[in-house]
Structure 1
Amino acid sequence: MLAAGLLHGAPSPAQAQGLPNLGDTEREELSPVMERKLGEQIMRQIKRNRDYLDDMPVQEYLNDLGNNLLSTRPEARGEAQYDFFFFAVRDPMLNAFALPGGFIGVHSGLVLAAQNESELASVMAHEIGHVAQRHIARMLGKQRQDMLIPLAGMILGALAASSSPDAGIGIMMGSQGLAMQRQLNFSREAEREADRIGLDILRDAGYETTGMINFFGRLQQATRGYNDTMPAYLRSHPLTSERIADIEARTRDLRYRQRADGLDLPVIQARMRVLQANSGQGLVEAEQAFRRQVQQNTRTSLVAGNYGLAMVALRQGDTAKAQTYIDAARTVLKDGAPKKGNLALTSLAIEVRLAARQTQEAVAEAEVARKQFPISRGIVRQYADALLAAGRTDDAVNFLRDQTAIYRSEPELFDRLAKGYAEQGRQALQHMALAEGYALRGSLPAALDQLSIARRAPDASFYDQSIIDAREREFKERRLEELKQEKEGL
């Protein structure tokens, strides 16, 4: 059902009844700050799901695209100035969804179906529209005199939707009971509003507004038979034809703008095709598709096709063949005299070097990449991995200490720092770093366990003990607050 349109956030929890009144009957159930906290809690659950694509090149591409859209409309971040996070889930369905507080997910099938960047951007702009208009908080206002679902129902619905939209909406329906009809009516209004906001964002960011019309048209074709058999009152999104007509009316007088895409989307699509393949047959089919792509002999098809073949070879453990394909893609890039390199291709080159145990080459690749892509967090992690793999433990630890001091919200950095401390034999610091990683992932009991181990470590200094005491107090307070919220809400 949800593949016919775009899935936006699920309803919010019953415990929100005790939150501050903001003076608006449609917003008093959920403040922007609590909306963000709720989104973070749901994301911690989603990240544990096997279909969550924890892949840095994909994440960085989606977040670069999303933040480019937001840069033209900073007010879309709302009064709480949400730091949006865009992510992907492994699912062939054409779908996307927004969660509370600025978290936006897209299905891998949707990314693969996009024929250009404007089409993908149109979907993401639509979801930004949902968040900007705070549709989830407003939905709570609509529900207040009906029923409110518990947090568990919301999380289960979001998780199920990441792998099966039908299952997701089924869980949400079971949680809502008699409030469903009112909620769906509101949802239709929200979808139109998100379309309007998204179209404005798309236009201002320099993308083709026809991208939204074209993509919705293909959605309509792909789901026509499915929609025709669906009861109207269960359609949580307006008919695609209605939305297309509305968008066409809004764009009729706009000047047509053609946008030349780069290589980023085709390369990410190649990567995602391999990541989505969950069987040997799927990998074989992906390889065949990449070979056909290379045969097209255009600059884009040569780079993306060779990239995909390198991904397949790496998945099969043939690092020499993977390196050959990477070299072929890089040759095409060089001949095309690009203004900048391709982040995903550069990242894959480092990945192949590490897999081949060519550690010195991996360090050299990563050092060049850090200068070429100075804000890439994925390259930072790969540089640390290369230093550790090359036995340059002290350099890795010093680098990671600096990184964790600046970027304290990345548990992956603390994991690598813990590995470095372990290789140095610094037990207390190892377990303190592990504690930080667990805490950032929301696993406070595990974080407290690691602090207890660190406290008993023979090399724990007086200074270490002081830090352990402070962090332990903070984690315990946060854990008590969590237990209180669980008790009140569930």
Structure 2
Amino acid sequence: MLVAALISACCVLPPQPALAVQNLPTLGDTSRESLSPLMERKLGEEVMHDIRRDPDYLNDAPLLEYLNNFGWTLVNARPEVRGEAGFDFFFFAVRDPVLNAFALPGGFIGVHSGLLLAAQSESELASVLAHEIGHVAQRHIARMVGSQKQDSMIALASMLLGALAMRGSGDAGAAVMMGGTGLAMQRQLNFSRDAEREADRIGLSILDAGGFETSGMVAFFGRMQTASRNYSDVVPPYLLTHPLTTERIADIDARIREQRYRQRADGLDFQLMRARVRVLQDDTEQGRREAQIVFDAQLQLNTKQQIVAAKYGMAFLAFKQEAYGKAEDLLQQAVAAALPAKQSLMLTDLGVEIMLVTNRETEALKLVQQGQAQYPLSRGLAHQYARVLIASKRLDDAIKYLREQARLYRQDADVQDLLAKAYSAQGKRALQHMALAESYVLTGSVPAALDQLRIARNSGDAGFYDQSMIDARERELQERWKEELKASKER
């Protein structure tokens, strides 16, 4: 499907005008690109469909919310990095202990769980994300294929998927890469020195404008480089694809010396996020034992943030082990230790989760409403509010709320899944499967969506209006699927 979409689009999309971003360096003439901004975004979305189906994709609402709030703080510090294409950046995490991060075409930026745990401050994490934002802002992947034939995008797609497949299986990744152009494309994906210097400069300007410590970039990269010297056979993947040369370090140091030094205190959410990731990274018994050891040691540091984070991590660990009483007790200790500071979204989220699983819907509703008053734009709390309404049997209220959410957030597959759950509880099978069809469309599975529409048509409770909606949507998706199959055969 990925390759089919690429071929179909590259046959009809003309090259776009050169990217003009104020005060940002340029690399080559973008007017001759064969990968337009629209095509670049399409490529990124198609790759993301595959990533989201990977079991190591961390589809964890509090983590995704933290990463995107944090990432957009960086983007908003230098809004011009969105460029003429106006990329809507999306930040996500994958479960992998190695230190790595990567930028996909069109504004998608991934971070390995190992890197999130290795970052010792928000400024260090910001330095990595800002660097990746720099690659997206300068459209380095588009420039790399700009002088190639359009068919090179197919190989690029294979390489992107192969690099991701290698996380879990080197053989699987190599097989995907062989389907593209192999070693040549692998080398092409490694950013050039000029591209790396560009990303460094943009990253530093983002850090400075956002009020982060610019020294965090050298500190973090330097620690990874030291690790690679100590373990010569285990070079961090981030340094393989983003080689930190002596020249680059000197250039970054020189630029840092020109900037005013500032010290930035980390927010509580940063420590809570790391505690959550430590539990999510390894759900085996050994992994949980190791997480407990880390949290016990963290308590001995005897600083407020570390104590709150350790208690929260232990509460989340107990929740995963279905020890709900213990989890609630530890969470209350974390909340008490955090007061009188502003409460965290992550603390509220876990509190609602515990109340839901222990069938205390009234308390859960009160807590989630308090959270929404404090964090009105939180997507995670919006989903939880709907879940609480469904659990409370307030199905009409849940459906009314979710349909409004679906109008406001058209790309939110979770809203469609929750709608399907609410309709199912009402026994409305046609509407249930129509909602599931929309969820499958949003996650990139058109055949599965068509199957759901067929089930909806034959459910027995579809009225005339529902049948009309099903027919219209089915025709639209069938046409879309035919175009993708046709493009695949022409490959």
- TM-score normalised by length of structure 1: 0.90
- How far is 1:394 from its partner? 2.1
- How far is 1:443 from its partner? 1.1
Q: 1:148–1:172: structure 2 CA closer, same or farther, 3 Å change rule? A: same
Which sits farther off after the overlay, 270-279 or 14-23? 14-23
Which of 362, 366, 386 is the aligned partner of 1:360? 362
Amino acid at match of 2:62: P
For 1:296, what is the secondary structure of its paired residue? coil
Which of 221, 224, 227 is the aligned partner of 1:219? 224
2:436 counterpart of 1:431: no
CA distance in 2, matches of 1:256, 1:23: 39
**Per-residue CA distance 1:424-462 (angstroms, 9 max, x = gap):** 111221111111111111111111121122222322122
2:14 counterpart of 1:20: yes
- How far is 1:167 from its partner? 7.5
Query: 2:278 aligns to what?
Result: 273
Query: 1:410 aligns to what?
Result: 412
Amino acid at match of 2:421: K
CA distance in 1, matches of 2:153, 2:17: 20
For 1:175, what is the secondary structure of its paired residue? coil
CA distance in 2, matches of 1:46, 1:321: 34
Q: 1:84–1:162: structure 2 CA closer, same or farther, 3 Å change rule? A: farther
For 1:98, what is the secondary structure of its paired residue? strand
Query: 1:60 aligns to what?
Result: 65
- Number of aligned residues: 472
- How far is 1:278 from its partner? 3.1
Q: 1:31–1:146: structure 2 CA closer, same or farther, 3 Å change rule? A: closer
2:239 counterpart of 1:237: no
2:337 counterpart of 1:332: yes
Which of 188, 195, 202 is the aligned partner of 1:197? 202
**Per-residue CA distance 1:277-318 (angstroms, 9 max, x = gap):** 231011011112112212322110111010001011111111
Gaps of 5+ in 2: 19-28
Contact kept in structure 1, 2:47 and 2:161, CA below 8 Å: no
Which sits farther off after the overlay, 276-285 or 385-394? 385-394
Contact kept in structure 1, 2:14 and 2:36, CA below 8 Å: yes
Which sits farther off after the overlay, 234-243 or 73-82? 234-243
CA distance in 1, matches of 2:155, 2:212: 39
CA distance in 2, matches of 1:21, 1:210: 39
Q: 1:87–1:184: structure 2 CA closer, same or farther, 3 Å change rule? A: closer
Query: 2:315 aligns to what?
Result: 310
CA distance in 2, matches of 1:34, 1:251: 36
Contact kept in structure 2, 1:76 and 1:132, CA below 8 Å: yes
For 1:278, what is the secondary structure of its paired residue? coil
Q: 1:173–1:255: structure 2 CA closer, same or farther, 3 Å change rule? A: farther
CA distance in 1, matches of 2:244, 2:170: 17
Amino acid at match of 2:254: A
Query: 2:162 aligns to what?
Result: 157
CA distance in 1, matches of 2:311, 2:416: 34
- How far is 1:103 from its partner? 0.3
CA distance in 2, matches of 1:236, 1:166: 19
CA distance in 2, matches of 1:182, 1:150: 12
CA distance in 1, matches of 2:281, 2:90: 21
For 2:53, what is the secondary structure of its paired residue? coil
For 1:239, what is the secondary structure of its paired residue? coil
For 2:263, what is the secondary structure of its paired residue? coil
Which sits farther off after the overlay, 16-25 or 97-106? 16-25
Contact kept in structure 2, 1:14 and 1:150, CA below 8 Å: no
Query: 2:482 aligns to what?
Result: 480
Contact kept in structure 1, 2:305 and 2:338, CA below 8 Å: no
**Per-residue CA distance 1:166-188 (angstroms, 9 max, x = gap):** 97589548833474597378522
Contact kept in structure 1, 2:155 and 2:181, CA below 8 Å: no
For 1:361, what is the secondary structure of its paired residue? helix
Which sits farther off after the overlay, 98-107 or 275-284? 275-284
For 1:442, what is the secondary structure of its paired residue? coil
2:36 counterpart of 1:42: no
Contact kept in structure 1, 2:43 and 2:157, CA below 8 Å: no
- How far is 1:58 from its partner? 0.6
Q: 1:205–1:373: structure 2 CA closer, same or farther, 3 Å change rule? A: same
CA distance in 2, matches of 1:238, 1:50: 29
Query: 2:472 aligns to what?
Result: 470
Contact kept in structure 2, 1:22 and 1:28, CA below 8 Å: yes
Contact kept in structure 2, 1:13 and 1:150, CA below 8 Å: no
- How far is 1:244 from its partner? 2.0
- How far is 1:402 from its partner? 1.5
Contact kept in structure 1, 2:159 and 2:185, CA below 8 Å: no
Query: 1:394 aligns to what?
Result: 396
CA distance in 2, matches of 1:346, 1:235: 39
- How far is 1:153 from its partner? 1.7
- How far is 1:91 from its partner? 0.7
Counterparts of residues 123-142 of structure 1 (less than 5 Å): 123-142=128-147
2:392 counterpart of 1:420: no
CA distance in 2, matches of 1:108, 1:266: 14
Which of 74, 83, 89 is the aligned partner of 2:94? 89
Which sits farther off after the overlay, 425-434 or 63-72? 425-434
Instruction: State the identity %.
Output: 58
Contact kept in structure 1, 2:47 and 2:157, CA below 8 Å: no
Which of 56, 79, 87 is the aligned partner of 2:84? 79
**Per-residue CA distance 1:376-432 (angstroms, 9 max, x = gap):** 001111111112122222221221122112112111111111111111111221111
Q: 1:146–1:374: structure 2 CA closer, same or farther, 3 Å change rule? A: closer
Q: 1:156–1:413: structure 2 CA closer, same or farther, 3 Å change rule? A: same
For 1:150, what is the secondary structure of its paired residue? helix
Task: Compute the RMSD of aligned alpha carbons.
Answer: 2.6
Q: 1:166–1:136: structure 2 CA closer, same or farther, 3 Å change rule? A: farther
CA distance in 2, matches of 1:331, 1:229: 42
Q: 1:51–1:240: structure 2 CA closer, same or farther, 3 Å change rule? A: farther
For 1:104, what is the secondary structure of its paired residue? strand
For 2:57, what is the secondary structure of its paired residue? coil
Q: 1:84–1:414: structure 2 CA closer, same or farther, 3 Å change rule? A: same
Which sits farther off after the overlay, 351-360 or 115-124? 351-360
- How far is 1:363 from its partner? 1.7
Query: 2:110 aligns to what?
Result: 105
CA distance in 2, matches of 1:225, 1:152: 34
2:283 counterpart of 1:283: no
**Per-residue CA distance 1:23-60 (angstroms, 9 max, x = gap):** 67655221100110110000000011111000011101
CA distance in 2, matches of 1:182, 1:94: 20
- TM-score normalised by length of structure 2: 0.89
CA distance in 1, matches of 2:233, 2:8: 38
